[in-house]
Structure 1
Amino acid sequence: MPIENLNVKNVSLEQLLNTALKGKNLTYKIEDNIVYLSQASKQQDPVQASAKRQISGTVVDANGEALIGVNVSVKGTSTGAITDLEGKYTLTVNDPKAEIVFSYIGYKQQVLPAKESILNVTMSEDTQMISEVVVTALGIKREKKMLGYAVQEIKGDQLNQTGDPSVTSALQGKVAGLQMNTAGTGLGGSTKITIRGNSSLADNNQPLWIVDGVPFSDNNNSDATYYGGVDRGGSSVDINPEDIESISVLKGPNAAALYGSRAGNGVILVTTKKGSKKDGFGVRYSGNFTWSQVAETLEMQDRYGQGHIVTQDENKNPLSQYYAKYDPTDSSSWGPVLDGSMQKAWNGDTYAFSKYGNKLKDYFDTGFAQNHNVSVSNVTDKSHFRASFGSSNNKGVFPNEKLNRINLDLNAGMEMNKYLSMDGKISLSRTKAEDRPYFGTYGAIAQLMSIPNNIRLNDLKQYSTDGNAHVNWTGPTAGIRNPYYVLNQRHNSDERWRAFGYYGMKINFTDWLHLSAKYAFDYYRTRIEETNAGDGINGESSIKDITDDEMNREEQNFFESNAEIVLMGDKQLTDNFRLGFTVGGNFMYQNYESLNAGVRNMLDKGQWIFNAANMLNTAGETGHERATNSVFGSLQLSWKEYLSLDLTARNDWSSTLPKKNNSFFYPSANLSFVVSDFVRSLDKTLPNWLTFARYVCLPHK
């Protein structure tokens, strides 16, 4: 069967063969740059016979200009390409039913079937993406491009992808410039958050948390030090990520000026869900299960075993040549080379002088977490209601470690008439942790790192016997502790009950001017208990003989209230000029108290009752009470949606300062100029490589 002549340019060999053989009942195969032709069945199309084929084309905008860097991918696969300087691309598909996805920042995504070998695409701008609206200070929604400071918004769905029970951990890696340092201290441990680095060498650099327009305390209850203690983390773990609609991170002092001095390090602005996205009644359930394991541990030497280097003879004269000596009670691993020879161990057993497992990894468990959330909502054109219940149960990788949380959230609002609307919220939570890992040199991890390579970890699980209160490879009076003794004889728990909420009303004078008033509160009570059966390293024959056992209890109560009234206006004065303003006042009251007591040498070992102790160890009380009166205001002037001036100011009067010097004032100003929109307003065309440009002028903090 003859094959006619073809005149083609800039096509691949596969494209040429597919065109030439179409309808000829022939198929082909390419191997080592040789084309093999063969007869095809009558039902077989040569294009389908060669499933692997190339698709190429050009991507342009609505003006016909080539788009550089467009992401072109085969849907559901990892196959993809990027358009070059001329907007051209080439990729290979294996499925005749494949779909090609074209995506580019600022343009609407397109999905097209891969039917043709040449696929040219014209992409249109996504005006919704370009004019993105975000929540800013005081809950004001503004167009992102017109802001003179950086704001990044994270949707609630993005936070819940991993099922992490902590909202701070869920933010990890999702916000540019947000630095998060998490100590390896178990479930719900402290996370140090800084936005664009530290602003102070001595003071707190943490941002302020605002939930639904109300300050939310993230106090840290850690007493961890180099020598010991427990890291109980921040109280932001009380927030259920499933109740979050979005989080806006306000970066820089200008973004936070309206919240006062404690927002100088930025603001994490949390907006919770108020109902279903569509009108009507809805019930929603979400749940997830997660298993976790320790991925990596510290790299430690595994060539040498228990013992030490001998540098002197029996008369303490220096040796001309040092040598390594095995000692079954030594705490270090700088003895002889692990050669597999039979040696008598610390517990009297004789076994091979070899490395036994990875002590750090073998000590940890497989963590497990389950989260369940149920919500009921009803939304009409005049009202909204949402009630949710959440349960989070977590077992950590540290043995015995648990963290459980229960959340109940109620949110409702109603538009009484066109002038008056009301809304309110109440959130209740209970967060309880048990056996958080101890920190520092007295913690189990530090003791694990001291175990020589040739000691079997399982031999240490019998941490106490009738003749020895504290079984240890270094002997009963040495300072090294058996990690399983620490695990089973030292316990801690902390439980926090929290109530958080607000009640607000809004009066609409006109379609551009309204007055809002809100009363909000945040209260929590934390109970902490620690029991320590004693070290047992003073030669005691049993745990009952230990006299340095102790118990400590602490109860903390925190309350903060905020009463606020704000007048807001937003008016389009002319076709080109827009004015927005905010004037308000706030009264903040805060009270904190802590009571603690400790006893030691319990009369009945293991019975942790205050009245059953021989000695009162410690007792104390701390606390503070403060109030702050504030007035604040802001002014936004914008011209043609590309030039914007923002002015803000706040003055606080603090009760903790002398009356003559208790006032402090902090203003801010920023100017935003969207260069790209300005150029377009002149009917000019931006270069192909430039789609958005903005210039911002800010004062120094």
Structure 2
Amino acid sequence: MRTLLHVLLACTLFLFVLPADLYAQDRTVTGTVLSDDSKTALTGVTIRVKGTRRITQTDANGKFSIKVNTGEILQISSVGYETTDVKVGSGDAIGVSLKTADNTLGEVVVTAMDIKRNPRELGYSVQKVSGSEVQETQRENFLNSLAGRVAGLTLDQTSGVAGGSSSVVLRGFNSLSLSNQPLYVVDGVILDNQTINETSSGGQGIGLASDRPNRSSDYQNRIADINPSDIETITVLKGPEATALYGSQASSGAIVITTRKAKSNKLAVQYDNSFRIQEVTRWPEVMEDYTTGINGVGANTFQYFGPAYAPNTQRFNNRETFFETGTAQTHNLGVDFGVGKSMFRLSGSYFDQQGVVPNNDFRRYNLRISNTTKLWKDKIEITPAIALIKTENNKVLRSAGSYLLSLMIWPSDIDITNFEDPTTGDKLDLFANTSANGEYDNPLFNVKKNRAYDETDRKTYSLGININPYKWLTITGRFGYDTYDMNGYLFYHPQSYFLSAGTGGTLDNYWRQYTGYNHTITATARKQLGKNFNLRVMTGTMWQDYETRMFSVYGTNIVDNVTASGSMIKNGSVVTDKDLAGIMGNYMDSNVTRSSTRLRLLRNARGEYNLNQLRQQAYFGEAALSFKNYAFLSYTHRFEEASTLPLKNRKYNYPGGSLSVIVSDIFPELKRNSLISYWKLRTSLAGTARLNTPYSTQSVFVNNFASGGGFSYGFFNNNEDLRPERQSTYELGTEFRLFKSRLNFDITYYNTLNKGQIIQNFRLSYGTGFVLNTQNAASTRNQGVEIA
């Protein structure tokens, strides 16, 4: 009896200490959800009881019912609206109004000088592409992934072969002679995007010693060295106002890249890969019913006006035989780790591409490590990074116009796989009684015997420093050093149609070195003026120092000559193609050519590199004023000095200004229906300059191969009075977000006037003493409309 009493007493005490919530009973509450702007019912709104799995949605009339306990929290959310929490009281009915969410407030784009800005503040056109979009395309390089993603961006793949270059132009061509390529900036540091120009202007430039037209081979532009998997975001700045702070090098716009960084110091490993197959599937329609000949009479010619093929003639599909199935594979590995407030990211990538053209392949190896360290109570942030890149490109030389054209002119009753002697490897003649050098190269002979190769070893170092000594002051520095070594060769076989029989083969060897340093230091102050105005003032300085060095040797007569029967002769003996392969070795020794035929770039003859140098110094500033976070006015100005101009014209400056107004915030009644969620108007007016190429202000001596040798002025009359090109652009645009930001429009009109165009290498009277001249001689206007 005493035991039973103790049990009853314990149960009673336990009931007294239970939480009051356990006494609560589930009850059903009902409610209605309306739009705060239009006061209309919202369908499909999610109502969730926080901390539980109880959930429901509103019906077509905006009504809902759910079981709750008094004191619980209802979380009410819907796409395009701000999430609201409501605490349940004693009542059984709840009324809720949801405010339209302003999704622009949390957005960030990286603009000039690695500055992060909200898009609503910008008075000029900016488009952003995420790194995930780039990676999903799995293209050869990040440039090719931009095709069709940015309004006003034109992408041209120069040749389409593996390792080929890609040209990007923003808003069309503004310069008639100078570069129209945008500037590339990675984490606030300018990176080189050169490609080799085979023309060396009589040996004075940094092209090949053979000074050939720039069409025999393709050289990848260096910005394609970047690992697409390392990219976090790409911001495309198209107008001069957006790039005024970057200076004359950004007169054609800028592509600003932010790389991925570690998000925490916890160990995290990522791996992804991709495999791609590429085939040529479309062909031009051609008629192949007639044999080689003229006026119905057969002849040994590549013209097809001879008799019709006999009905039982065997025909070959040489086009499909020639082109192969191209493949590409990518492997990416990333590791995040860290200690305390120091976080690291290590990434590596391997890319291997086999082209659709035989004997054409490209490989790229990337290794990068970056760090983010915060010091002094997070007032100092340091972000160093090192990247190592290696590329290897086995290239093919272009056929007579292109490989496809060569295949189209090849007789369809001749199998192109029979192009070499199975014993000697020598070129087989197509027609009887013709020399090896006298008829077009078989396309397979061209890709297997005429060879080219280049490899590049590149290192980039960058350092970012952000200092926030006070809430209103930020000091930033971006420092970058970029260097690479590139070497390669270009070889034409002695039996090739591109050479005469006495040339005996040709070999170009080249070595290129590039070093570039640039830094940008800025200080930004912010001040709130009263309740409605905010002021931001930024000032800064930039220094750029770039040098490209080139050494190139060209020679002929690897063999002495090629006979009429097609035999190669060296030192009085017949040399077969297999013998020639042993002579050539790795193709990087110019001593295989006849010494008397060798040409070098002008300074190379004295054992020095040909140089291309550019140094540039600038000071700049920006003042920006905002009103109630819906009207933004900014003004920029840059003062610049560049080494490429003559001393008297070396200093120049240019302004820029922009205005942005959020109309939907000024008139909030516009958002009281489901049509307009956001409406912005913007305009900008800015000027910039474009620089001449180095050394185009001074004529130089070249080798004189006549009149007893020595030196004389070359063909090029450079101009000591050159001024920079001047470019001014007016831009007007608007941005709409409709149907709760489900549909977005960005419309821009731009008008660019280019004055004092620098025209390089145009012909004037020989009475000038020169053939090709350079001067400020033209103006152009470029205008257009962009819709994104």
Give the TM-score taking structure 2 as reference length: 0.66
1:524 is aligned, of 463, 484, 499, to: 484
How many residues align? The count is 563
Deviates more, 1:594-603 or 1:254-263: 594-603
Q: 1:456-475 residue pairs with structure 2 within 5 A? A: 456-458=415-417, 460-462=418-420, 469-473=427-431
CA contact (8 A) 1:463 1:472 kept: no
In structure 1, C-alpha distance between the alignment counterparts of 2:498 and 2:656, rounded to whole Å = 63
Q: Which residue of 2 aligns with 1:249?
A: 236
Correspondence 1:281 to 2:262? no
Q: 1:347-362 residue pairs with structure 2 within 5 A? A: 352=313, 355-357=315-317, 359-362=318-321
Residue 694 of structure 1: CA displacement? 2.2
Instruction: Say if 1:300 and 1:245 are closer, same or farther in 2 by CA, change over 3 A.
Output: same
What letter corresponds to residue 493 of structure 1 in structure 2? Y
CA contact (8 A) 2:482 2:516 kept: yes
Instruction: Say if 1:630 and 1:175 are closer, same or farther in 2 by CA, change over 3 A.
Output: same
CA contact (8 A) 1:474 1:480 kept: no
Q: Which residue of 1 aligns with 2:169?
A: 194
SS at match of 1:493: strand
Residue 537 of structure 1: CA displacement? 5.7
Cα displacement string for residues 248-269 of structure 1 (whole angstroms, at most 9, x for unaligned residues): 1111111001000010111100
1:237 is aligned, of 191, 206, 224, to: 224
Instruction: Say if 1:360 and 1:664 are closer, same or farther in 2 by CA, change over 3 A.
Output: farther
SS at match of 1:645: strand
Residue 535 of structure 1: CA displacement? 2.9
What letter corresponds to residue 425 of structure 1 in structure 2? A
Q: Which residue of 1 aligns with 2:389?
A: 429
Cα displacement string for residues 597-653 of structure 1 (whole angstroms, at most 9, x for unaligned residues): 022222662222433433333211421223111101111111111111111111111
Correspondence 1:585 to 2:541? yes
In structure 2, C-alpha distance between the alignment counterparts of 1:172 and 1:438, rounded to whole Å = 26
CA contact (8 A) 1:506 1:515 kept: yes
Q: Which residue of 1 aligns with 2:293?
A: 308
In structure 2, C-alpha distance between the alignment counterparts of 1:467 and 1:188, rounded to whole Å = 28
CA contact (8 A) 2:121 2:632 kept: yes
Instruction: Say if 1:519 and 1:64 are closer, same or farther in 2 by CA, change over 3 A.
Output: closer
Residue 164 of structure 1: CA displacement? 1.5
CA contact (8 A) 1:227 1:439 kept: no
In structure 2, C-alpha distance between the alignment counterparts of 1:536 and 1:230, rounded to whole Å = 16
Residue 444 of structure 1: CA displacement? 3.7
Correspondence 1:259 to 2:246? yes
Residue 667 of structure 1: CA displacement? 1.0
The one of the two structures with greater contact order (alpha-carbon pairs below 8 A, sep at least 6) is 2
In structure 2, C-alpha distance between the alignment counterparts of 1:658 and 1:151, rounded to whole Å = 35
CA contact (8 A) 2:638 2:655 kept: yes
Q: Which residue of 2 aligns with 1:618?
A: 599
Residue 490 of structure 1: CA displacement? 0.8
Q: Which residue of 2 aligns with 1:569?
A: 525
In structure 2, C-alpha distance between the alignment counterparts of 1:144 and 1:571, rounded to whole Å = 20
In structure 2, C-alpha distance between the alignment counterparts of 1:538 and 1:417, rounded to whole Å = 67
Identical aligned residues as a percent: 27
Aligned-residue CA RMSD (Å): 3.2
Cα displacement string for residues 361-383 of structure 1 (whole angstroms, at most 9, x for unaligned residues): 33111111111111111256722
Instruction: Say if 1:334 and 1:678 are closer, same or farther in 2 by CA, change over 3 A.
Output: farther
SS at match of 1:554: strand
CA contact (8 A) 2:243 2:253 kept: yes
CA contact (8 A) 2:526 2:534 kept: yes
CA contact (8 A) 1:181 1:192 kept: yes
SS at match of 1:481: coil
Please, which runs of 5 or more residues in structure 1 have no aligned partner?
Answer: 1-58, 71-85, 88-103, 110-121, 311-323, 342-351
1:549 is aligned, of 494, 500, 505, to: 505
Q: Which residue of 1 aligns with 2:278?
A: 292
CA contact (8 A) 1:585 1:632 kept: yes
In structure 1, C-alpha distance between the alignment counterparts of 2:245 and 2:498, rounded to whole Å = 59
SS at match of 2:495: coil
CA contact (8 A) 1:279 1:379 kept: yes
Correspondence 1:156 to 2:131? yes
Instruction: Say if 1:411 and 1:308 are closer, same or farther in 2 by CA, change over 3 A.
Output: same
Give the TM-score taking structure 1 as reference length: 0.74
CA contact (8 A) 2:37 2:672 kept: no
Residue 686 of structure 1: CA displacement? 5.7
In structure 2, C-alpha distance between the alignment counterparts of 1:471 and 1:627, rounded to whole Å = 55
Q: Which residue of 1 aligns with 2:661?
A: 673
Correspondence 1:332 to 2:290? no
What letter corresponds to residue 199 of structure 1 in structure 2? N
What letter corresponds to residue 652 of structure 1 in structure 2? E
Instruction: Say if 1:685 and 1:106 are closer, same or farther in 2 by CA, change over 3 A.
Output: closer
Instruction: Say if 1:334 and 1:108 are closer, same or farther in 2 by CA, change over 3 A.
Output: farther
Residue 440 of structure 1: CA displacement? 5.7
CA contact (8 A) 1:333 1:453 kept: no
SS at match of 1:399: coil
